[in-house]
Amino acid sequence: MGQRTSLHDRHVAAGAKMVDFAGWDMPLHYGSQIGEHHQVRRDAGVFDVSHMTVIDVGGGDAGNWLRYLLANDVARLEAPGRAQYSLLLNHEGGVVDDLIVYRLAAGYRLVTNCATRRKALVWLARNSPGYNVQVEERPHVAMLAIHGPNSIELACGALPGDCAGKVRRLGNFGALEHEGRLVARTGYTGELGIEVMLPGESAGELWGKLLAAGVKPVGLGARDTLRLEAGMNLYGQDMDENTSPLAANLGWTVSWRDEGREFIGREALRRQRESREQDGGPVLAGLVLEARGVLRNGQQVRTDKGAGVITSGSFSPTLKQSIALARIPGGSQSCQVELRGAMTPLKIVKPGFVRFGKRVFE
Amino acid sequence: MSNIPEDLHYAATHEWVKVDGNGIATVGISDHAQEALGDIVFVELPEPGAEIEARAEVAVVESVKAASDLYSPASGEITEVNEALIENPQLVNSAPYDGGWIYRMTITDEKDLNELLGAGAYADHCADE
């Protein structure tokens, strides 16, 4: 038996098919993965993502330490209540983990992956000597993600009135703290929505109110197809410690603006940037299969510039065709994959296929 | 527990077969198989008129999770395919023994059916997996 979130019994009661996910018993789906995917694109769904790793950072050097550790710059979070997507890089410029960092009234909160928990905590501890910081994992914090075009309206009905009023006014990547909760306009679906972190013992009550308001439970299966349609990377599949963010469509997360900021991996990235100006180098692209069939992780593809590999492939329930993220030579114009013995053309697009329920590529 | 109707024959590879009075067999995949696959998004159907051998790959069922080959439980000729699955492959999930049937065939040698499992033996087989 794996670790359980505080909502485990509610998943079982809702008919979830529970599976092992990095040592946790998590809901894969509650009957239909595709039905849940559409629920988020068209209405509102709730995910239990309490398996994510929540880490609070305090101490007088917290800001400066995170400016050293993270490739994005927390100095750009101008005030408490702002969040940003960021990467932990190693000294070779590979990605140790990806996360969202929230600036709180006191200190910062990091939400990192579940499967990389131990590695991320070790990395933080190893790089903390010399800084006045307190790094505290918060294993009893539960996290619900409520996403979909109607999510905020329905979620506000399930939150206390004074909290709901503030949630309605949040902008994208805005966050607010309210009586032990952290509510933020962040997520992993490409839809409008919020994530709510709260004490584990309070999660069941919120879950129940959300379901009573018409929000449907959504499993990790649909979470994966939603994030793939949104063109969002999955750590361990689309990038890892041996992948440069520049080869993973994550160059935009690296903040170069403060030239004096020495963050881990900066020197390696600077060299990679120079060499890529000479010879290009691999990129993470989107692929679309017009023919019937489903692209799968690990499949080899061939472009006019050489070989590539699919890092995340699946069926897009919104587009009703298969889509993928793939690492291919930069500047590729055409791409093919072998499907049941036949070379089949693929369309190359920017990563990102669906946003706010609508197709986003030509 | 998955649904395993008593009156069907089953292959260890999770196909079911139902033979009508005229020697025509209807083939699909079991409730256990559809549940393991998850939501089905494409079914690659065989060509009507094709001659197939027992245990040969005859169709492909693709779900969000995986592609799964369907092996013919008997030798014979394909007489009909379920074209409703082209537009609505999820019939295999919602009605695996009914609207989600995959193809029909004549059976060359009835002895092929003796190689298949009854409902009880198939239930044991699923439990062992």
Q: Does A140 touch chain B (CB under 8 A)?
A: no
Spell out the domains of chain B, with CATH numbers in brackets: 10-118 (2.40.50.100)
Mean pLDDT of chain A: 97
CA distance, residue A62 to nearest chain B CA (Å)? 42
- In chain B, the residue whose alpha carbon lies closest to the alpha carbon of A323 is B64
Name chain A contacts of B42, Cβ cutoff 8 Å. Answer: 292-294, 315
| A126 within 8 A of A50, measured Cβ to Cβ | no
A292 touches chain B (CB under 8 A): yes
Distance, CA of A121 to CA of A127 (rounded, Å): 10
Cα dihedral value A130, A133, A139, A142, nearest 10: -140
Q: What is the ipTM of this complex?
A: 0.84
- A107-123 pLDDT tens trace: 999 999 999 999 999 99
pLDDT tens-digit map of A128-187: 999 999 999 999 999 999 999 999 999 999 999 999 999 999 999 999 999 999 999 999
pLDDT in tens, A30-53: 999 999 999 999 999 999 999 999
Distance CA A76, CA A347 (A): 36
Q: What is the mean pLDDT of residues A220-231?
A: 98
Question: Tens digits of per-residue pLDDT, A275-312?
Answer: 998 878 999 999 999 999 999 999 999 999 999 999 99
3-state secondary structure of A13: helix
User: Do residues A49 and A146 make contact, with C-beta atoms less than 8 angstroms apart?
Assistant: no
Note the Cα B58 to chain centre separation in Å: 10
Inter-chain CB proximity A34 and B62 less than 8 Å? no
Give the residue on B whose Cα is nearest the Cα of A340: B60
CB neighbourhood size of A301 (10 A):
24
pLDDT at position A136 is 98
The H-assigned helical ranges of chain B are 31-37, 84-87, 91-94, 111-114, 119-128
- Residue numbers in B near A294 (CB within 8 A): 41-42, 62, 64, 67
Task: Report pLDDT for B1.
Answer: 65
A88-98 pLDDT tens trace: 999 999 999 99
